[in-house]
Structures are given as structure tokens and as C-alpha cells.
Amino acid sequence: MEAAATAARAELESFNPATGQRIGAVPKVEPGEVQAIVDDVASVQPFWAQLPLGDRARYMRRAAQAIIDDLDGIATLLSREQGKPINEAYVMELLPTIDALHWIADNGPGILRDERIKQPQIFFKQKKAWFSYEPLGVVGVIAPWNYPWSIPFGEVAIALMCGNGVVLKPASLTPLIGERIQTIFERAGVPEGLVRTVHGGGAVGNALVESSAAKIFFTGSVDVGRGVGMACAERLKGCVLELGGKDPQIVLADANLANAVSGCLWGGFANAGQTCSGIERVYVMREVAERFTEGVVEGAKALRMGDPTSFDTEVGPMVSADQYDIVVELVEDAVANGATLHCGGPTEVPGLDGRFYAPAVLTDVTHDMRIMREEIFGPVIPIVTVDSEEEAVRLANDSEFGLGASVWSLDRERATRIGRRIESGMVWINDHMYSHGACQCAWGGVKHSGLGRAHSKFGFYECVNVKQMVWEPSRIRDFWWHPYDASLAGSLDSAAKLLYGRDADKWAALRAGAVPFTKLAAKVLRVRK
């Protein structure tokens, strides 16, 4: 009996959120084992770091092909383990990672090669300077459950392209997907042990943060992310934190209203609303508010709920009972405080035992309601009618979060102006959140939505040590070296006026500097014994 209990504790089980059925299990690790795993990856990483950039790029392309070879199997696993509709598994998770791997392979060598630094200063002309981008060593990635494939996969791939090893800690609700990420890179032929997966609860994630891993990428809640940031700061190492959002959608009177409605439905209800950058607040101009709201309510009622592995399902289950309860509580609180619920709420899907919440639309909400302050992370759209651009911007910025935002208008100049005023890491005009699927675009937020950036060239820079390198041919001495005398200050005084001063002062500066320049030149050319 004791041996059986020990074996049970050693496994992390995975369950289908739509049916409640067990779909598999993975071995758990103890927190005390994490450092040894990081050490094992660190022992492999130097070999990988020595590979030319072009060779690392070839492994990225092989990984893309490995995904393609198992595309349907991974899509089905994503749908079964996380609960997202299978079409979203292809659109929002798999195709973006295949494309990202090719973008990383095509552009990584150019981003990471030594970068020459121009030095226009006349007194540095003999020197050559460049940036060298060197791997950090081992990077830790702590993944979320809402996009358990695409979010960590891009981070792992860029870290590898930069020459690092990776330890991945998947979310406890989606361990099988995390294990499959490691498998893909192994099938691509990366050195054995370069990518390792550790499974377990929060204690395992804490152990990875506190390990000798050189940097941590974390996606999750603000409270946990704050703890990750503090632990990294104590160890003087970096972290990239993506901590969720409360994304606003601003709909102006001149917007293509049909597109704004469709964008709202997808941005708010894709993945059952369990998206960090999903639309969680809408501010619509009064002139079009009634038509917009009617369109969203009608569209929400039409979305088909059901088995996420079915190709016609548009909204699947909530990932867990806990997440379901949060959504129920927030909506009930809003209604109790005066909000109007036009559609949606708890529902049952015949033949399925999971927790389903039908797409909900609220109006008459105010900013003192919890639902407008806290992250919903569920299929709920609160709509607020506004009277001006100023009001829309003020309310959009009235949040502790700042991940993404969207502005809907046919006036590009006006929409761009509004977008610049919104406090967020990303703004989309006449679209929402699509750019996570475009690896060349940066991803990350401001305020409580996090620190740092994933994807793009900035995501590469997060995974390297930017080293300044300089070559001095050593033919002459630098003029600022010892010994000091009056000629140094006199020369610099004249040089500053000649190089950067008013034209009217330059002739006088040249005359004043003639003697100091001569003495300084003699010093520079003199060989010191």
C-alpha cells in the first residue's frame, strides 16, 4: 500500500476539462531535484553554444517539420487537454509556432551576428567597436495553461537559437502538452538533454526560479509574477514577466461596425475568453453603441458550444472548476451592483460533464465594479457607452493592467493618435491580439501586465548577454592617458567649441587651441617607456 501511494504521488495526472476523463500522466519531480536538472542542461549547453548560427537555424527548421509531421495529433491533444476548440488549436497555437520557427531560423543569424558600432567621434576613429550577443547559459520557462503550446514554444525556440539550454516547467493543468514540446525538439535532433521538462506544482516552479538558471520567462498571475520578479532580483538575474491584462476595445463612430462586432466576438470569446490579451472591456461611442451592442449580443448567442474536438465548436469548456467559479462570481457581483446581463451564463452541454459558461454580454457596468477592475479570464464582454474620445482614453487607462488594446476606426491618423495615448505594450487598429502569431512583432505589457518582451528582436535580446567589444590597433597612445598637464584641458576646451559650438566661436577656438593641440599631439605620438 505504501509503495502504491508513493507511485501515485510521483505522477501528475491530466484530465479532459470537457469530460473530466483522465487522458494521461507524467512523472513529477521534487523541488530538490530541479537544481540537478539545471546543472545537467548546463553541462550540455556549451557544446550547443559553439555551433554556428546557421547550424542552430537548421535545427529550428527541423523542429517546424517535426510539428508538421504530428500536426493533427498535437491539435487533438491541445483540444483534449486544454479544452480549446480544435480549430483554435491550429489557428492560435500550431500554425503560429511553425511560422515562428521559420522566422527565427531566417532572421536569428542576422539578429545575433556581431553588430558593428559606428563611432563618429574624431578621437575614436582608430578604434573598431561591435556588440557581441552571447548566450546566457540555461534559461527557465514557466508556462501558462491557457496557451500551453504557443507561449512557451516561442520562448524555448528563441532561447535555443541564442545558444542557451532550456528547462521548461509546464502548467500543472497541461503537462502533456509541455512534454510534447520537449519531444519536438528531440525529434529535431538537438543534443540530448539540452531541453528538459520538469513537472509539479508551484514548489517546482519556485525551485526553478531559485536555481542557477540565468533567466526566467514567466507567464501567469500578477501575484505569482511579482514573487518571481523579487526572487530573481535577489539573485541578480533577469526575468521576463507576462502577467495578464484587461484589454480595452475602443470603437469610434466611424468604425466598420460589422468588423468591430466580429472582432469583439473573437477577441472576447476565443479560447472561452481565457486569453491574457483578450478583450475584457469595450468603450463604444454613443452614436453607434446601440447597434454595436445588439450585434455583439446577437453574435454571442449564435456561438456554438460543445465538444472542443468537434470542428464546429466555437466555445469550449472552462479549463477548471476554479476558473469557472471566478467567472460566475464576477458576473454575479456585477449584476448585483446594477449591471444588465443580456445573454450567457452557466450552462450544460449534453453528454459532457465539464464546466461550460455561455458567452455573456453586460451593459450598465461602471468602473467601481470588480468585473471592470479584475481580470475575468472567461467569456464575458462588458460594454460601456462613452461620449467622447477623451472619455474613452481615460477609461481605457483606468486600469492597473496594460497588456494590449485596440482602436476601431477608418481614420488611421485619429486611431493612431488615440493608440499612442493608451498605456499598453501593444495597440492594434481594427484588429485585436493577432500579433502573438507573428513572431517578428514584440509581445509584452506595461504596468501590472509585466516586464520585458517576448518574440521579435527584443525577445532575442532578452536571451543573450550584450557584450561590448572594441579593437584598438595600438599604434598611438590615447590622448587622455597620463601624464596630465594644462595642454589636455586646453585642447578639450577648444575641441568642444570646434566640434559642437557656435560657428562664430570656432575661429577663436582654433587659435586658442593651436599650442595645446601641438603639445597633446606630441604626447600621443610619444612612446612611453
**For 453-473, how does the pLDDT look when each residue is reduced to its tens digit (9 = 90+)?**
999 999 999 999 999 999 999
SS3 at position 128? strand
Query: What's the pTM value of the predicted model, to 2 decimals?
Result: 0.94
Residue 35 to residue 39: CA distance in whole angstroms = 6
Q: For the chain, how many residues are written?
A: 529
The continuous run of DSSP H or E covering 55 comes out as helix 53-69
> Of 444, 449, 408, 458, which Cα lies nearest the Cα of 428?
408
Give the pLDDT band (50/70/90) at residue 17. very high
Q: Is the pLDDT of residue 9 over 60?
A: no
Residue 8 buriedness (CB in 10 A; 0-12 / 13-18 / 19+)? exposed
Average of pLDDT values for 10-29? 96
Instruction: Give the angle 442-417-377 at the CA atoms, nearest 5°.
Output: 50
User: Looking at residue 525, what is its pLDDT?
Assistant: 85
Give the pLDDT band (50/70/90) at residue 526. confident
User: Looking at residue 55, what is its pLDDT?
Assistant: 98
Only one residue has cell 537548421, namely: 58
Q: Is the pLDDT of residue 265 over 80?
A: yes
Domains of the chain by residue range: 42-243+458-467, 247-439, 486-525
Average of pLDDT values for 183-206? 97
How many C-beta neighbours within 10 Å does residue 488 have?
Answer: 18
Pick the CATH number of 247-439 from 3.40.1520.20, 3.40.50.720, 3.40.309.10, 3.30.1300.10: 3.40.309.10
User: Looking at residue 129, what is its pLDDT?
Assistant: 97
> Of 397, 422, 486, 440, which Cα lies nearest the Cα of 154?
440
Let me know if 242 is a catalytic residue: yes
Structure-derived torsion over alpha carbons of residues 145, 150, 151, 155, reported in degrees to the nearest 10: 140
Q: Is the pLDDT of residue 529 over 50?
A: no
Q: Is the pLDDT of residue 200 over 60?
A: yes
Give the pLDDT band (50/70/90) at residue 142. very high
- Active-site entry in 88, 155, 210, 242: 242
User: Looking at residue 523, what is its pLDDT?
Assistant: 85
Task: Check: CB of residue 138 under 8 Å from CB of residue 164.
Answer: yes
Average of pLDDT values for 284-305? 98
User: Looking at residue 4, what is its pLDDT?
Assistant: 43
User: Looking at residue 163, what is its pLDDT?
Assistant: 98
- Active-site entry in 162, 239, 276, 463: 276
Let me know if 162 is a catalytic residue: no
> Which residue type sits at 237?
K
State the DSSP string of 324-393.
HHHHHHHHHHHHHTT-EEEEEEEE--TT--S-EEEEEEEES--TTSGGGTS---SSEEEEEEESSHHHHH
Task: Check: CB of residue 168 under 8 Å from CB of residue 216.
Answer: no
**For 378-412, how does the pLDDT look when each residue is reduced to its tens digit (9 = 90+)?**
999 999 999 999 999 999 999 999 999 999 999 99
Q: Which fold has domain 42-243+458-467?
A: Aldehyde Dehydrogenase; Chain A, domain 1 (3.40.605)
